[in-house]
Amino acid sequence: MTGLEFKERFDVLTSNITFEQLAQDAPEELSENINKLGVLILPSHGTDDSFYAGSLDTLDFLNDNGIKADIYANDEDYKELSLHAADFWLGTLFVKYFVIPVFCGVISSYIYDKLKANKDDKISLKFIVEKKDGSTSTVSYDGKVEEVGKALDAVKEFSNED
């Protein structure tokens, strides 16, 4: 038996979450800095308070590569959810429009160079993208790593909108 049964899924949908809303709902020590960030790592798919194992590695990689990022939890409340399968689970990343071009290159490097993902490996990720006009959309992808480019291309399209 392999890990979770994985069917490819790729969705681009309108969202109603904003950085401003997240800043208002965040713990005080986090809310002060949220608007200065380009990327915010949110709790895992389907949870309100747990992050996938490796979220801190993702955070470090983004920050080390010039993208101001943070985890949407204070140190005391940070909890990790470990999934024991060969799949890569990146979780939910909230991306502001002005970092999209750099972000897509950095996250691609993270997947292929840092995680050493092979084209047949499976990956699950979700991007919430805040567009220039303040509205948001989500790009979700579950499938083979070799096809993750279509999710990144969908994210890139939001940087081209006026």
pLDDT at 1: 36
Q: Has residue 84 got a pLDDT over 80?
A: no
Q: Secondary structure of 12-60 in the HEC alphabet?
A: EEEECCCHHHHHHHCCHHHHHHHCCCCEEEECCCCCCCEEECCHHHHHH
For the chain, give every domain's residue range: 9-159
Task: Round the average pLDDT of the chain to a whole number and report it.
Answer: 86
